[in-house]
Every structure is written in C-alpha cells, then in structure tokens.
Amino acid sequence: MALVIHNTLTRRKEPFEPLQKNKVGIYVCGVTTYDKSHLGHARSAINFDVVVRHLRGKGYDVKHITNFTDVDDKLIARAHELGVEPLDLSRQMIDEYFSVMDKLKIRRADAYPKASETIPDIIEMIKGLVDKGFAYESRGSVYFIVRRVKDYGKLSGQSLDQMIVGTRKEPGEDKRDPMDFALWKAAKPGEVSWDSPWGKGRPGWHIECSAMCLKYIGTTVDIHGGGTDLVFPHHENEILQSETFNEAPFVKYWMHNGMLTVNEEKMSKSLKNFFLVDEVLKRYSPQTIRFFILNASYRQPLDYSEDSLDEAKKSLDKLQDTYTALLSVGGNATGADGMEEACTEAWERLTQAMDDDFSTREAIAVIFELSRTANRKLADGSLSNTGVDRLVSTYRRFNDLFDVLKEERRRLIPTRDETRLQDTVTAQIDLPIDRNRISDDNYIDELVQMRENARRRKEFDRADRIRSRLAELGIEIQDTPEGAVWKRK
C-alpha cells in the first residue's frame, strides 16, 4: 500500500518516495517565540505530529526538525516593551511552547534548532550566496537578488512582474530592487546582534530555515511543512536561497496545513481573534482538541468555535465510551465472533485512509463504524475474550496515531449480589456524601451499591437522589443489564 502526499509544488497527490529508502527527513516551520501559542499553532503541530507518527508507523526512520525563530523584529520590540532581554523572552516562550504542546501530546521533534544558535551556518550560507553573485551587501545588510533566479515562483505560482503591480513595498533605501529580500540585517543601535563579515547584524527571516535544513537534514529534504500562510514569500524564498546555495533541489514534498479560522477569518495575532492554547486547555481536554483538529482535513481551513469543540467532545465521548467499555468488560461468548475479520478490515481501511494524504477524517469514520459493530456485540453479549482483545488492540493502534483516547476503565457494581442488599444507612434519604473521600474508588463503589440496593427495593426516589448527587461530583452512573457502571467524567 503506497502512501501518497499532496505536494504544494505540483498541487497534486504524488506517491511518496523518500530520497533514501526508509529514511525521511522532515522539516516543519515552527513559531516565532515572542508570544504564547494560539490554537492555530497547535493545529499545525498536531497535524504534523500525526504525519510523523504515521510515517514512523509505516517503518520509516524519520528525522523531524522544527525550528524556533528567536531573532525577529517583533520579538525585539516585545522584549523592549517588557524591559527584558530578547533571548530571555524567547526562552520563556519556548518553555511555554513545550508546556502546552506536551499537554497536547505532540511528540517532540528530534531537534529544535534556534536561529540564534545557527548563526555561523547562516553566515556561511550568506557568504556563499554573495560569492555566487546572487546577493549583495549594502550598508551592512545583505540582500538576495530575486531577479537573478529564472524559475522564480514555482511554489506559489507568483510571477515577479505581476507582483510588483500589486505590492506597495517601498524600495527599502538599501535595496537595489524592491523584490530583493534581506538575508542579513544590519543592527540598529542597541539591538541583539552578531558579528559578521558585513558588520554587526542579525539574520533575515527566511535564511534560518535554509541553513537549518542543510545542517540537520541535508541539501534536499523529503518533506517540508508549515501553514499555508508561509507559502509566499517564506517558502518561496527558502527555495531561492537553498537551491542557489546547494545547487540541488531543496524539497521533494511541500506540505501545507490550512488555517484555523474564527468566523471564517484566519486566526491571527494581528486580527486579535486568537485563542491561546493554554486558555482553550482550561475548557477542553487535550484529547478533545486533538480530535477537533484531526476530524478535519489538514489542508482545508477549519473554523473554530465553542460549538464545534463541544461537538468534538460529544463525538469523542462516544468513541471513548466504547473503548472504556471494551477495557472494562471481558467477553463471555465462546467461539468465533467475527471480530478478527472486522478488526483486520477496519485496520486496512484506516491505513488506506492515512496513506491517502493523511486522511484523518476518513480514518476516524472507520473507527466509528468499528465502534458500532463493537457496541452491537457488546449489547447482545456475543463477544469472546479474544474478540475483546482484538478490538482493544485495534483501538490502541488507532490511538498510537491519534492519541485521543484515554485508558480509562469503569467500575461495575453487579446487581446480583443479594447479600449486599442490606444497607447500613437506610434511614436518611439524603445521605451525606463525604467529599474528602470522593476520589476513593471504593467509597464510590459503596455509594453506587447503596443506590443499587435502593433500586432493588424500588426506592427510586432515593436511588435517583444518589445518582444526581454523584453526578454533581462528576461521577456518572449508567445502568446496564449486568449492573450499574460508573466512571469519572
């Protein structure tokens, strides 16, 4: 079964063939570390997390690199406002980044290079570009001569002449051509800067990615990813720099994730319509957030709203309930229950979906269908122990990719236990619940047992009160033919 990836370069799905058999170098553009991450950043991280997981699951030896842009105008400005050193602010934001991304279960990349720590490589590359005649120095800054590259615009489809019409870029006083872009920016007084052959300064935005790709992966990377908003000019310019310097193709497959929107408009700092990841995490679980993101195609825009997060939660609960049930109950039937075939088929379809340009939405649909089969079997008691095991392991494999399910079990209080019908506390209807003990499973078992006893005695009023009191404490009781089952919400 062959993996196909939608390549922005050709705007088509192409069979995935890495440069070296079984090895994949993937570079994903990271964030500028001047502020906390919003959900849009999380979307990108989650999408590429799953891309990497699937590649690894297919047996590829993956090297995943994601950068931090820690030298940047906005960062400098923000640090200045706050009265801190830019690199200190950056360190703080990087901690922040890892803190939320870890919560979202993003597997760490193999390296997170920072622009500030890649300066020698960057300078090396700029020198090379100057030597080749594709860049020039002007008042301490260095610019790339865009017009010297003949196949300009192959990624974004932009043509230089068209663009100039629409652009209002003022010819920077140091640039020879308004289309040229900075490889190296001369330092203004008091700014963070590094020594270079052109004097003190700092790298331009695009060059760090080119330098890092070369340093950590090689002249050609298999997959280069990022948001669609980076296609132009960032990625286009990376191509110019890298291909000119390396004289080799820069990227085999360009992958771009769609924007997260709010009321159909791009979520962004400048529009102030963003939701910070740590804020959203206060209201929704990491699993819900991942599910929300993965329940859409990565290339399309996805609209954020509380309603859609709520719906994602409901949907995910359905899957989780089935998984929890499977983890909690053993099978009782003997002989063939058809789960081997069902699981094999589901897994095949799921893999096919993932191989089709990482169609996570379709993969999720497959799991829902398997859930229906499982629930049906669960209800009519026709699952065998091996059937349960097969289902559980299929869910686990799914979860290795998606990481949206918890390994949670529920507790069953069997109804059949006649000896426990006598309550110690029968008098009061509103029994006092000891809040200090609510985290104690055995205590909850006791309470649920009391309710169960009340039900047996047809004291439904009392039973319902216990149920609603527990519900207030986040404990949900469900009655099943086998007895009452409870779990923490």
Residues 46-85 within binding reach of RNA (CB under 7 A): 69, 72, 74
**Residue 451 to residues 83, 478, 485: CA-CA distances in angstroms?**
60, 12, 12
Query: Considering only residues 288-347, where is the footprint of RNA by CB under 7 A?
Result: 295-297, 299-303, 307-308, 311, 314-315, 318, 321-322
Query: Which of residues 107 and 456 has its CB atom nearest to RNA in the complex?
Result: 456
Residues 206-225 that bind RNA (CB under 7 A): none
Asked whether the beta carbons of 180 and 146 are under 8 A apart, the reply is yes
When binding is defined by CB under 7 A, the residue of 77, 82, 248, 379 that contacts RNA is 379
Instruction: Based on the shown chain and the rule CB under 7 A, indicate whether residue 456 belongs to the binding site for RNA.
Output: no
Cβ pair 107, 50 in contact under 8 A: no
Tokens of 246: 């390396």
Q: How many residues bind RNA (CB under 7 A)?
A: 88
Select 1 or 20, whichever has its Cβ closest to RNA: 1
- Crossing angle of the two packed helices 286-294 and 385-402, in degrees rounded to 10: 80
What's the sign of the alpha-carbon dihedral 295, 299, 300, 303? Answer: positive
- Which part of the chain contacts RNA (CB under 7 A), choosing from 127-135, 332-340, 374-382, 405-413? 374-382
**Among 80-88, 132-140, 188-196, 359-367, which window interacts with RNA (CB under 7 A)?**
359-367
Instruction: State the minimum distance, in angstroms, from the CB of residue 114 to RNA.
Output: 13
Residue among 259, 248, 231, 209 at smallest CA distance from 158:
231
**Stretch touching RNA by CB under 7 A, among 113-121, 140-148, 421-429, 460-468:** 460-468
Q: CA-CA distance, 290 to 43, in Å (whole number)?
A: 8
- Residue with smaller CB distance to RNA, 189 or 481: 481
- Shortest distance in whole angstroms from residue 389 CB to RNA: 20
Between 25 and 226, whose beta carbon lies closer to RNA? 226
Is 336 within 8 Å of 343 (Cβ atoms)? Answer: no
For residues 101 and 154, what is the distance between their CA atoms, to the nearest angstrom? 33
Determine which residue in the list 147, 372, 396, 437 makes contact with RNA, applying CB under 7 A. Answer: 372
Among 54, 252, 455, 487, binds RNA (CB under 7 A): 455
Q: Looking at 30, 86, 113, 201, which residue binds RNA (CB under 7 A)? A: 30
Rounded least distance, CB 381 to RNA, Å: 12
Residue 375, interface with RNA (CB under 7 A)? Answer: yes
User: Would you count residue 110 as binding RNA (CB under 7 A)?
Assistant: no
Residue of the chain from 114, 234, 390, 487 that contacts RNA (CB under 7 A):
234
- What residue type is assigned to position 426 of the chain? T
Is the CB of residue 451 less than 8 Å from the CB of residue 467? Answer: yes
Quick one: 81 exposed, middle or buried, by C-beta within 10 A (0-12, 13-18, 19+)?
exposed
Q: Is 362 in the site for RNA (CB under 7 A)?
A: yes
CA–CA separation, 4 and 118 (whole Å): 33
Where would I find the H helices in 302-338?
A: 306-328
Site stretch for RNA (CB under 7 A), options 160-168, 211-219, 397-405, 413-421: 160-168
423 lines the binding site for RNA (CB under 7 A): no
Alpha-carbon Rg of the chain, whole angstroms?
28
